[in-house]
Amino acid sequence: MASDSAPQKYTKWTALVASLTIFVLAVFVGFEIITKVPPTLHTPLMSGSNAISGISIVGALLATALGENWFASMLGFLAIILATVNVVGGYMVTNRMLSMFKPKR
């Protein structure tokens, strides 16, 4: 009986640790990829990533709603905030970039 309850006890934490490991690896890989992009392409790259950031907001909402403990819910909430900041910043940069191409009055 005791051996049956042990895997269930650690299943939630194992999934959380695996998710955090994937997140940390994604941060490092993303940073390495972005640092290799020439500076002239940073603005169009940020503009194009708005759709992906919108999808990450949906994922963060799902992670927050399905969080099985308070730590998972807090990480989901933090993900919502950071993804929203990323989307808003991307649209602000896109607006500024597009205003450079408008004729001056």
Residue 69: both structure tokens together = 């403990």
Task: Show the DSSP H helices in the chain as ranges.
Answer: 2-35, 42-48, 50-65, 70-100
Instruction: Give the model confidence (pLDDT) of 40-97 as tens digits.
Output: 777 677 667 777 778 888 888 888 888 788 888 888 899 889 888 888 887 887 788 7
CB 60 within 8 A of CB 83: yes
pTM to 2 decimals? 0.54
CB 12 within 8 A of CB 68: yes
Quick one: which of 90, 72, 87, 82 has its CA closest to 26? 82
